[in-house]
Amino acid sequence: METIDTDVAIVGAGGAGLRAAIAVAEASPSLKIALISKVYPMRSHTVAAEGGAAGVIKGNDSFEDHFHDTVSGGDWLCDQDAVDLFVHEAPRELTRIEHWGCPWSREPDGHIAVRPFGGMKVERTWYAADKTGFHLLHTLFQTSLKYPTIERFDEYYSTDLVVSDGRCHGVTAIEMRTGQVRFFRSKAVIIATGGAGRVFPFTTNGAIKTGDGMAMAYRAGVPLKDMEFVQYHPTGLPGTGILITEGSRGEGGVLINKDGYRYLQDYDLGPPDPWPRKKAMELGPRDRLSQAFWHEQKKGRTISTDYGDVVHLDLRHLGEAKIVERLPMVRELSQSYIGVDPVYEPIPVRPVVHYTMGGIDTDIDAATAVDGLFGAGECACVSINGANRLGSNSLTELLVFGARAGRRAADFAIDGGVGPADSEVQSAAKAMEDRVLELFRRSGGAESVAGLRRDMNEAMEAGAGIYRSEDSLQACTSNMMEIRERYENVVLTDKSNVFNTDLVEALELGSMIDVAIAMASSALQRRESRGSHQRLDYPDRDDAKFLSHSLARYSGTGLPGIDYCDVTITRSQPAERVYGGAQE
């Protein structure tokens, strides 16, 4: 097995990974960086984010407001020191990427324009039409080409972290075009592999969002934090799950049920007028909006279609000019995939899985419990998002924590320290290669990757959806454990060494199963409702018992051990989350 020596290995080349790579390159031009991704960087799922990135720059705004919106939006599960740091660094990072060429939308005088977004008291969401993630990703990727110390390994699927004596020594990865496993021996490793939405059947997430980095860190001994918190974005297209940005509501779009009624006013988000109004109605937080759909569905007030029940997102009153200028991609997506022109008809939408608040447990410097291992972006949980993420905080999070991870990893790589014997590291790496080879060579099993994946999707949707219960979660957990057993019998049909996607999908399925079990187990143990984790049997928030982060610890073939750690609370004491007219 070939060994590639480097100083900082970064797994994942999306927004966080690219930002981290640039940060390392700028911190020290003598550090070698291996940027490893299973897809070309511009395919990373950051590309699909639409609405915008939040940062305080306008005169009517303040860090305090951004802080409070985020903490209350997260149902007080956010670590407030991290949120403080985040809101302060946000405008600098967003300005930095503007200097790097990001085509932010502008006000007539040339300053950055901002739009209102869900759960935010003051508009502070910077946007680039309705393709902000796309523009951020391409700007980061193109800027990264300036730095000769960033060496990219495109289409290398990372399989395992090589850890020995509580320290990470690198990562093994399959070079997809040759099928060879390579060991990236590295002083520091940053994981920036994104979330795990593909665990669920209806998701805005692309094929690649399979939680590989989360699973790698988990198996290497890093706990996964707050995995029970999965965000349903209120407006995805039925069937495909394609994202219709929150920006469409920020620009004034409304949600109506089958009676043409703006139903959100029945769920403590009203009154419906004056509209638009911040933190009210359709600009409420995502968890509340998705939960309202669930209730409307139970009452029989949603609209029935071939792709399940939907509600309508009405943009007609915005007028064609505004839609073309601010929401061109929304119009294009809606016309292409559902045959609806939002200028003339409302768009059918429903909640779909969108974001994983939980992830690799890191501190505010992106460091994990394993020395030399860092995490940033959706795969990590600092936590700034708590129990529910506000829209447009995550693109900013990629930049702020991607940069922090890069700087921290650079420091670590420079300080170095003496590693263990080369033979020890090499045999740890060899064990990882053997794991892959075993799956590749296995014969005689009866399980198919696609069938098992479907079963996992069904189990998670049924048991760990928007509303959960003891029974549903017990069933889900035991279904998932059975699926994990069956996974040992997965056999590959494709035995080629060249670009074997059967192998990659099988490995991705393994990651998803581990992550799903962590999600279900964490959800079962959290006997309260908070943010996006809602229990029919425990409908209230229980700060006395559960004002804590859950930590899921890998235990091989058994259920993960779940313990808890404190939430850092500095100045915002848990209170009631208030939206709509009740704010005033």
List interacting residues with other proteins (CB under 8 A).
Answer: 39-40, 42-45, 47-48, 57, 92, 95-96, 98-101, 103-106, 108-112, 129, 131, 134-135, 138, 142-143, 145-146, 154, 177-179, 206-208, 239-240, 242-243, 329, 333, 336-338, 448-450, 492-494, 496-502
Handedness of CA 209, 215, 216, 218 (dihedral sign): positive
Helices and strands, number each (H, E), in the chain? 15, 22
> In angstroms, rounded to a whole number, what is the distance separating the alpha carbons of residues 311 and 482?
35
Q: Which is nearer to other proteins, 75 or 175 (CB)?
A: 175
In sequence order, the 6+-apart residues with CB closer than 8 A to the CB of 569 are 76, 80, 547
Give me the least distance between CB of 87 and other proteins, in Å please: 16
> In angstroms, rounded to a whole number, what is the distance separating the alpha carbons of residues 440 and 179?
10
Contact at 8 Å (CB) between 289 and 233?
Answer: no
The token pair that represents 7 in the structure block: 């100083």
Q: Which is nearer to other proteins, 48 or 369 (CB)?
A: 48
Complete DSSP assignment for 500-528: -HHHHHHHHHHHHHHHHHHHHHHHHH--S
In sequence order, the 6+-apart residues with CB closer than 8 A to the CB of 492 are 439, 440, 442, 500, 502, 503, 506
* 367-400: burial string, b at 16+ Cβ within 10 Å, e else: bbbbebbbbbbbbbbbbbbbbbbbbbbbbbbbbb
Contact at 8 Å (CB) between 54 and 120?
Answer: yes
Give, as one character, the DSSP assignment of residue 275.
Answer: S
Give me the least distance between CB of 502 and other proteins, in Å please: 5
Q: Which is nearer to other proteins, 154 or 268 (CB)?
A: 154
Give me the least distance between CB of 239 and other proteins, in Å please: 7
In this structure, the dihedral spanned by the alpha carbons of residues 497, 500, 503 and 505, taken in order and rounded to 10 degrees, is 170
Alpha helices (H) in 376-469, listed in sequence order:
393-415, 422-441, 449-463
Q: Which is nearer to other proteins, 145 or 536 (CB)?
A: 145
Phi and psi (nearest 5°) for 250? -60, -30
Query: 3-class SS at 20?
Result: helix
Contact at 8 Å (CB) between 375 and 192?
Answer: yes
Handedness of CA 361, 365, 368, 374 (dihedral sign): positive
233 catalytic residue (yes or no): yes
Q: Which is nearer to other proteins, 45 or 115 (CB)?
A: 45
> In angstroms, rounded to a whole number, what is the distance separating the alpha carbons of residues 562 and 546?
13
Give me the least distance between CB of 36 and other proteins, in Å please: 15
Q: Which of 233, 277, 326, 526 is catalytic?
A: 233
Give me the least distance between CB of 104 and other proteins, in Å please: 7
Q: Which is nearer to other proteins, 140 or 162 (CB)?
A: 140
Which residues partner with 157 through β-bridges? 174
Give me the least distance between CB of 396 and other proteins, in Å please: 15
Q: Which is nearer to other proteins, 340 or 567 (CB)?
A: 340
Give me the least distance between CB of 335 and other proteins, in Å please: 11
Q: Which is nearer to other proteins, 149 or 240 (CB)?
A: 240
Give me the least distance between CB of 42 and other proteins, in Å please: 5
Q: Are strands 380-381 and 359-361 parallel, antiparallel or unpaired?
A: parallel
> In angstroms, rounded to a whole number, what is the distance separating the alpha carbons of residues 29 and 32?
8
> In angstroms, rounded to a whole number, what is the distance separating the alpha carbons of residues 511 and 513?
6
Q: Which of 43, 152, 185, 249 is catalytic?
A: 249
Give me the least distance between CB of 161 and other proteins, in Å please: 24
135 catalytic residue (yes or no): no
Q: Which residues form the catalytic set?
A: 233, 249
